[in-house]
Structure 1
Amino acid sequence: MQTSPSSRTSGPPRPDRRAVAFGGLAATCWAALAGPAVAQARVERAPAADAPTPLPFAVGGRVISDGEDLTYQWPGVYFEAAFTGVSVFFRVGAGDQILHLLIDGRRVGEMIRPAAGLYRITGLEPAAHRVRIEVVSEHQAGPARFGGFALGADGVAGARPRRRRQIEFIGDSHTVGYGVGRDQRDCTTEEVWASTDNSSAFGPLTARRRQADYQTNAISGRGVVRNYAGAAAPTLPQAYPYALFDGATRYDATDWSPQVVVIDLGTNDFSTPLAAGEPWTSREALRADFEATYARFVQTLRARNGGAFLILLTPPSAEDEIAVAVGRVAERLKAAGEDRLAVLATGPLAFTACDWHPSRRDQEQIAGVLSAFLDAHPEVWDGRRP
């Protein structure tokens, strides 16, 4: 059972400062991971004289466009393109971020707070390739940007990658992958930021197993009605309608229609005791507000996503407080006619990552719980009841 310290620091990771120059461009060749077609891949700054041709690409996650760059603040954003050639260019925009660079599904580099500018991946075999850039960091302090892919004269564009399945994950720091890269509970603010990795969180792990596109709409420290330790900031349902954390730029969901929506909330609502000045006079009042607000939020998701199947996760908590409250939410929804919904317990977790957060093994366990359910109910992808 999770004790009260296990989420005592579910607050947002905040980057301290920008690294100088390349900001930690890891252009190492990851030869142990790469296959023959990408074993000699290198990541480098592109010469200023290069003027490559734009390469069409697919986008995963919530982004907005200003005509040149794509801007994003929610975690889990990724970009993909297909091409034939020996190299591919990409442009990084402003903003603190960590990028994982993949060719044909294998990591060929990592960029930590890269300086804005044009880069290229070279040393590829002359063959058809897929390039993918995953933004794995969290950006509560401000948005980050990406300027797209491009090809040199020797490259030929391929069809943009597309997947039939879409799955959305809504939550807090557990869903973000907060501090998952460090197997220790005591971490500095900088260590938390540097070790947060959404690609290792249960959402992307599950989506990759299902060959699905995904969105990670989660913010560390946020709850349904109450943020960690009563912090003053929009709750997750309040922030959810917006593409950025400005409360003004609404998200256009025209191209997003997930068949499955997974919600993992409640840790921040209940993990700390109520303090003087908060709007709830008792724990019972907090639970009642949580249940009513959570149910309304799920109903807005139902209205927005039509036939999507909804999964409510229950993380461990003292005296199973979250599980009991979420169970009541499900009962309320079913009484109102909701019939495409399931409640799944994550099971016991070790919480050995930064600030008592789920470890890599914990994240794999949660992904296993979700995958087992989806394997047992493949009909949910087709809009049918399990």
Structure 2
Amino acid sequence: MRYQKLYSILFLTFSLMFFGRNPVKEIGNLQLVGTQLSDSKGKPVRLIGTSFGWSNWHPRFYNQKNIHWLKEDWNINIVRASLGIEPDGAYLQKPTENLKTLESAIDGAIKEGVYVIIDWHAHKIHPKEAKDFFDKMSKKYGKYPNVVYEVFNEPEKQSWEEVKSYAEDVIKTIRKNDPDNIILVGCPEWDQRIDLVQKNPIKGVKNLMYTVHFYAGTHGKWLRERTDEALNAGIPVFISESAGMEATGDGKFDYPEWQKYYDWMIKRNLSWITWSVSDKKETCSMLLPTASSEGNWRLPDLTESGIKTRDYLHQFDSRGQYINKFNFGGRVEKNFYNKALLIGPGSYVEFETEGKTIEVNLKSVDTYSHHNWISIEIDGKYIGRIKIDAGDAKNYKLETSSPAKHHIKLTKATEASNGYIEFDGSNINAIPFTPKSTKKIEFIGDSITCGMGNDESAFPCGKGEWYDQHNAYLAYGPVSARALGADYLLSSVSGYGMYRNWNTEKSEETILPDVYNNLFLNGNGKADFDNSYQPDIVSICLGTNDFSDGDGKKARLPFNQYKYIGNYIEFIQMIQKRYPKTQIILLNSPMVNGEKNKQFISYLNQVKDFFKNDTKHPPIEIFEFKEMTPKGCGYHPSIADDEIMANQLNPFYQKFLKN
């Protein structure tokens, strides 16, 4: 009941926030500048909105009152009016009825000051009917800056040559009456084969874009990569249909993949439309049959798709500029713009809000029930750790000194092998803020890099669980990064090495290079760790466990320098493919002393020498920690030791961050 009341308040708040908007008046005539949709002055703009369902099946939603509600409450600046063409009761059978439905939406959009896509929602080619239709539409509406023409929704098995020839004829018809408004052209195989367009685009037509459609439950990273290649080759793209479930429009949501698409569209400044404003009994429908035909929808009228889409739309201003409220860092799986799993040690979420008491919703997640720890920073000051209990998600209260605006940062203190912390910011009244643009450092390592055994504030060494002394926030990497004004990412697992682990050989257990490319730092292949972070420095501190004699009980093979050096070289080559411009720095370990440390440094130099003739990447560098006797738990650095290590690193890293 509490959340339903909160949601009702947010409905009113958002409606008042966006009331009286006129996006078309603000943006003006659309134009294409390179691959970027732009306003009348040539400045980048993004159109965001929803698509009405098929006109022949959902005509009751095609009216001005619904568009007014979508504009004022959902924050759209464009709608897509989808003229059904082939099915029973659609345009080819009942042209008069469907045209009347379509024009009701077009007229409503013009009166409301939003853009409207006139969508020829077909899967087959109908050249004569399409040319006649777009001739009428462009003559009647071509004078309005609101109008965007989509000449072919989703070609199925037609070749690009067939689609291109058809589109060129329809475009000529439109351009006789309307020389300027944006035209969208679909591509084969349900708008996934943008690569075919890239090889043979339509020539000599201005303000022409191509459509890509995605359904996150079916279309993964491959479609984003294919579209990136087309964009990089100069092909303008408009996402005129998308959603979070399977391509059938039904099935389950894939929220992590849907969020990846949103992050990608934000990064690429792509315009997007979500399918659909309809009340059909399927996952993609945003409304329930209880929803009015004249807007004023409330929470009980919306499906899960409707609620999520509306929430997404509220993250943008009238020009489609993203309004950041939650910033996630490190190894994190985002499930929504304000929800995520904090996975790796040192992974974090930061936001700004007001109030003396701030409630955050957190949950410890793993295959078995246990607790986790998270570190709290308020207004740049470290407050301490809090224990995230096992079981259902709970609200944890953070107390501040005043009701003014505060910057909150929550950092996962425990490592990935200890499970994950689920953050849900839905009930946080976050204030828009822009994260600082900083240099970036990725710290790759083992338990030393994780911050294992450094924090005895809750339990002394030997008490509690093995992870109760973990605090990645105060490990040497994050401490160093904060001192240098840099952001950080930790890719580290306790006990892991470069070619073998603390007490096991490669044949018995995965090693760090095996799990590095997995977001969850495990060997089950659950999710890829993408290369979007692109650090300025990659700091590698692996070898402590390779050199280890193990527990002294299990037989341990002699250290194999050739396997160590060979694996290290291959690992660096993989890192260079991910981050071709990054500065790679190899670290020894302050925990490895005496003769072993001399060997350690010798092997690192052999690794460095292997790359001495490499002119494509920055030269490999080596940093040597001073030997120390650690004072933390289990022969690990204490918080004070981590501070000493960071102070040693900082002058060396500072040189490379300045370049």
TM-score normalised by the shorter chain: which range applies?
A: 0.7 to 0.9
Q: Tell me which residue corresponds to 1:8.
A: none
Judge which range, 261-270 or 113-122, deviates more: 113-122
1:290 paired to 2:245: no
Q: Tell me which residue corresponds to 1:104.
A: 379
1:242 paired to 2:534: no
1:57 paired to 2:319: no
- Measured in 2, the distance between the counterparts of 1:220 and 1:336 equals 32
- Measured in 1, the distance between the counterparts of 2:541 and 2:400 equals 42
- Measured in 1, the distance between the counterparts of 2:497 and 2:328 equals 27
Q: What is the Cα deviation at residue 109 of structure 1?
A: 5.4
Contact 1:178–1:195 (CA under 8 A) maintained in structure 2:
yes
Larger Rg: 2
Residue 263 and residue 167 in structure 1: after superposition, are their counterparts in 2 closer, same or farther (change >3 A)?
Answer: same
1:263 paired to 2:540: yes
Q: What is the Cα deviation at residue 195 of structure 1?
A: 1.0
Where 1:74 maps in the other structure, the secondary structure is coil
TM-score, normalising length: structure 2: 0.46
Contact 1:90–1:149 (CA under 8 A) maintained in structure 2:
no
- Measured in 2, the distance between the counterparts of 1:181 and 1:314 equals 23
Where 1:229 maps in the other structure, the secondary structure is coil
Contact 2:531–2:579 (CA under 8 A) maintained in structure 1:
no
Residue 294 and residue 357 in structure 1: after superposition, are their counterparts in 2 closer, same or farther (change >3 A)?
Answer: same
Q: What is the Cα deviation at residue 246 of structure 1?
A: 4.4
- Measured in 1, the distance between the counterparts of 2:576 and 2:652 equals 20
- Measured in 2, the distance between the counterparts of 1:256 and 1:222 equals 23
- Measured in 2, the distance between the counterparts of 1:189 and 1:276 equals 25
Q: Tell me which residue corresponds to 1:334.
A: 612
Q: Tell me which residue corresponds to 2:448.
A: 174
Residue 350 and residue 103 in structure 1: after superposition, are their counterparts in 2 closer, same or farther (change >3 A)?
Answer: same
Any gaps of 5 or more consecutive residues in structure 2?
Answer: 11-310, 312-323, 366-370
Q: Tell me which residue corresponds to 2:348.
A: 78
Q: Deviations over 1:11-47 (max 9, x none)?
A: xxxxxxxxxxxxxxxxxxxxxxxxxxxxxxxxxxxx8
Return the match for 1:359 from 616, 633, 638: 638
- Measured in 1, the distance between the counterparts of 2:400 and 2:450 equals 33
Contact 1:172–1:223 (CA under 8 A) maintained in structure 2:
yes
- One-letter amino acid of the counterpart of residue 650, structure 2: S
Contact 2:451–2:470 (CA under 8 A) maintained in structure 1:
yes
Q: Deviations over 1:295-327 (max 9, x none)?
A: 110111112112111111111334123222112
- Measured in 2, the distance between the counterparts of 1:117 and 1:49 equals 17
Q: What is the Cα deviation at residue 94 of structure 1?
A: 2.9
Q: Tell me which residue corresponds to 1:114.
A: 389
Q: Deviations over 1:47-71 (max 9, x none)?
A: 8787376882101111113448422
- One-letter amino acid of the counterpart of residue 619, structure 2: R
Contact 1:99–1:136 (CA under 8 A) maintained in structure 2:
yes
Of the two structures, which has the highest relative contact order with CA contacts closer than 8 Å and spacing of 6 or more? 1
Where 1:215 maps in the other structure, the secondary structure is strand
Where 2:364 maps in the other structure, the secondary structure is coil
Return the match for 1:218 from 492, 495, 510: 492
Q: Tell me which residue corresponds to 2:414.
A: 137
Q: Tell me which residue corresponds to 1:12.
A: none
- Measured in 2, the distance between the counterparts of 1:160 and 1:91 equals 23
- Measured in 1, the distance between the counterparts of 2:6 and 2:385 equals 24
What is the RMSD computed on CA atoms of the aligned residues? Answer: 2.9
Q: What is the Cα deviation at residue 252 of structure 1?
A: 4.1
Where 1:131 maps in the other structure, the secondary structure is strand
Q: What is the Cα deviation at residue 287 of structure 1?
A: 0.7
- Measured in 2, the distance between the counterparts of 1:362 and 1:100 equals 19
Q: Tell me which residue corresponds to 2:588.
A: 314
Contact 1:84–1:158 (CA under 8 A) maintained in structure 2:
no
- One-letter amino acid of the counterpart of residue 60, structure 1: G
Residue 182 and residue 121 in structure 1: after superposition, are their counterparts in 2 closer, same or farther (change >3 A)?
Answer: closer
- Measured in 1, the distance between the counterparts of 2:364 and 2:418 equals 13
Q: Tell me which residue corresponds to 1:3.
A: none
Return the match for 2:653 from 358, 363, 374: 374
Judge which range, 220-229 or 53-62, deviates more: 53-62
Q: Deviations over 1:322-343 (max 9, x none)?
A: 2221121111122444543210
Q: What is the Cα deviation at residue 150 of structure 1?
A: 3.9
- Measured in 2, the distance between the counterparts of 1:215 and 1:70 equals 16
- One-letter amino acid of the counterpart of residue 171, structure 1: G
Where 1:352 maps in the other structure, the secondary structure is coil
Q: Deviations over 1:132-167 (max 9, x none)?
A: 111111241433322236435xxx613142332111
1:323 paired to 2:597: no
Question: What is the number of residues matched between the two proteins?
Answer: 325
TM-score, normalising length: structure 1: 0.75
- Measured in 1, the distance between the counterparts of 2:502 and 2:608 equals 23
- Measured in 1, the distance between the counterparts of 2:624 and 2:426 equals 40
- Measured in 1, the distance between the counterparts of 2:640 and 2:400 equals 34
Residue 256 and residue 372 in structure 1: after superposition, are their counterparts in 2 closer, same or farther (change >3 A)?
Answer: same
Where 1:272 maps in the other structure, the secondary structure is coil
Judge which range, 353-362 or 257-266, deviates more: 353-362
Q: Tell me which residue corresponds to 1:29.
A: none
- One-letter amino acid of the counterpart of residue 504, structure 2: G
Q: Deviations over 1:216-265 (max 9, x none)?
A: 11000000010012253210111100011243133343531110111100
Contact 1:81–1:161 (CA under 8 A) maintained in structure 2:
no
Residue 123 and residue 249 in structure 1: after superposition, are their counterparts in 2 closer, same or farther (change >3 A)?
Answer: same
Residue 48 and residue 250 in structure 1: after superposition, are their counterparts in 2 closer, same or farther (change >3 A)?
Answer: closer
- Measured in 1, the distance between the counterparts of 2:419 and 2:475 equals 21
Any gaps of 5 or more consecutive residues in structure 1?
Answer: 1-46
Return the match for 2:576 from 286, 291, 302: 302
Where 1:110 maps in the other structure, the secondary structure is strand
